[in-house]
Amino acid sequence: MQTTDRQKLLSALCHGSIFFSATIVSIGIPIVILLITDDWVIKDNAREALNFHINLFAYGILASLFFATVIGIPIALILGGGLLICSWLLPILAIVKVLDNPGQPYRYPFILRLL
């Protein structure tokens, strides 16, 4: 398999893993790809996908904490709706960008890069 095809496939798999499930599988795929590959572009895409997963989880906890208060219900609904849209739209955009330019890692906007 050529390098660009491998980069496209593994990078798209990292970003698209969020669509498989909301459990360990969606986080496990980028972790495994991060550990088995030597290509820096694929590693950067795997790290970015993991950071996106971690941020979505943290923002979901934040939205549920807002939901616990009466004043926070509108804020929680806005945060929850935004998370739902972002959890679908941003990975699709990442997959398209990775397939279009496989030599450059994709960066999600507005996330904390912990890894």
Q: Which domain holds residue 29?
A: 3-100
Residue 113 counted as domain residue: no
Q: Answer whether residue 14 is part of any domain.
A: yes
Q: 110 in a domain, yes or no? A: no
For residue 79, being part of any structural domain is answered with yes
Q: pLDDT-derived band of residue 3, with 50, 70 and 90 as boundaries?
A: confident
pLDDT digits (tens, 9 = 90+) for 44-73: 999 999 999 999 888 888 877 877 776 777
Does residue 92 lie within any of the structural domains?
A: yes
Total domains in the chain come to 1
**33 in Cβ contact with 96 (< 8 Å):** no
Residue 115 inside a domain? The answer is: no
CA dihedral over 17, 77, 97, 49, signed as positive or negative: negative
Amino acid symbol at 27 = I
Q: Does residue 9 register a pLDDT over 70?
A: yes
